[in-house]
């Protein structure tokens, strides 16, 4: 086996279309591959961002993915592997859904990813990014106001994206592809919002990894719903809120979930303006949902 392994090439999957994947090697060459049936039997599908060992195909023939190397992180929505920095794109139009953003932040934090917020379309509402920055300041999540259309604010965001495999995510129409085009001088397909709604479809359909100008970044299909997490202990959620950490162990009850229990240090911090009340309110909504799933876990 080890002898055969040495004859494999190693690369990163940059896209998958149907059952065909494209792997890019370190020297920049691209190979079309299919996935061996053994992976399906094991219940594993390759994801964009996966590092793989593969056998290249002869001439025009496709090759085969032989092995998927251990993943640092996994996202199922959007489907991506090995992302270490998540860039959530928010915009005033279509209206930003911060509960959805908090769900993404919670999942990313649980996997040890860094999170950045890119608040796009500042040309439409210059004050919106300030509101977002206020909500996430206590969590230490950096906010980058940008206008992909007017190409403003791009350099600080670009600098913050260097040195990690980044993934742009967020609602359809927030401007992920337009932003990547502006950041990296690309020509990804974008679509206007009314057309998206009319078609009920995303413009970007699949995850695509782009390497350019020292950045490694994925463009992904937007979405507007994220299912509640199953099988998650309610006590785990509070650990995913960086702004709660300073108050750990300071509530009257050790097991306090910061859900309006008496003597809650997190509530007191929020009353003193140290934690944004809306973010705390949304934490409680997510907590209620996770508790319900947890209660029904054997159904």
Ligand X SMILES: Nc1nc2c(ncn2[C@@H]2O[C@H](COP(=O)(O)OP(=O)(O)OP(=O)(O)O)[C@@H](O)[C@H]2O)c(=O)[nH]1
Find the binder of Zn ion among 157, 266, 275, 286 (CB under 5 A).
266
Find the binder of ligand X among 22, 82, 204, 270 (CB under 6 A).
204
148 binds ligand X (CB under 6 A): yes
CB of 49 to ligand X, least distance (A): 18
Tokens of 151: 């190409």
Spell out the residues 6+ positions from residue 98 whose beta carbon is closer than 8 angstroms to its own.
90, 132, 135, 278, 279, 282
Residue 82 or 177 having the CB closest to ligand X = 177
**CB burial string 192-213: b at 16+ within 10 A, e below:** eeeebeeeeebbbeebbbbeee
Residue 67 or 268 having the CB closest to Zn ion = 268
15 binds ligand X (CB under 6 A): no
CB of 128 to ligand X, least distance (A): 11
Q: Which of residues 182-241 bind Mg ion (CB under 5 A)?
A: 203-204
Per DSSP bridges, beta strands 30-35 and 20-24 are antiparallel
177 binds Mg ion (CB under 5 A): yes
- How many residues appear in the chain? 299
Three-state DSSP state, 64: strand
The Cβ of residue 263 has, within 10 Å, a number of other Cβ atoms equal to 11
Residues interacting with ligand X, by CB under 6 A?
120-121, 123-124, 147-149, 172-178, 190-193, 196, 202-204, 221-222
Residues that bind Zn ion (CB under 5 A): 251, 256, 258, 264, 266
């Amino acid at each position: 086996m080890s002898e055969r392994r040495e004859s494999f090439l190693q690369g990163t999957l940059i896209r998958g279309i149907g059952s065909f994947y494209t792997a890019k090697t370190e020297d920049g060459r691209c190979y079309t591959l299919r996935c061996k049936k053994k992976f399906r039997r094991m219940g594993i599908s390759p994801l964009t961002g996966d590092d793989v060992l593969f056998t290249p195909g002869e001439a025009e023939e496709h090759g085969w993915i032989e092995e998927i190397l251990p993943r640092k992180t996994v996202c199922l929505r959007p489907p991506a592997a090995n992302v270490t920095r998540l860039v959530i794109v928010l915009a005033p139009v279509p209206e930003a859904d911060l509960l959805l953003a908090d769900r993404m932040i919670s999942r990313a934090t649980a996997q040890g990813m860094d999170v950045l917020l890119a608040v796009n379309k500042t040309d439409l509402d210059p004050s919106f990014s300030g509101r977002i920055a206020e909500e996430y300041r206590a969590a230490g999540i950096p906010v980058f106001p940008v206008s992909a259309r007017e190409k403003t604010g791009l350099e600080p965001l670009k600098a913050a994206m260097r040195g990690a495999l980044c993934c742009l995510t967020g609602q359809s129409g927030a401007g992920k592809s337009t932003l990547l085009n502006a950041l990296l001088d690309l020509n990804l397909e974008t679509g206007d919002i009314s057309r998206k709604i009319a078609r009920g479809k995303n413009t970007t359909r699949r995850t695509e990894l782009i390497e350019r100008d020292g950045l490694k970044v994925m463009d992904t299909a937007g979405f507007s719903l994220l299912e509640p997490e199953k099988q998650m202990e309610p006590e785990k959620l509070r650990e995913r809120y960086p702004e709660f950490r300073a108050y750990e162990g300071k509530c009257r009850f050790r097991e306090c979930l910061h859900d309006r229990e008496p003597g809650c240090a997190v509530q007191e911090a929020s009353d003193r303006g140290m934690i944004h009340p809306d973010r705390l309110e949304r934490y409680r909504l997510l907590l209620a949902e996770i508790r319900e799933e947890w209660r029904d876990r054997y159904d």
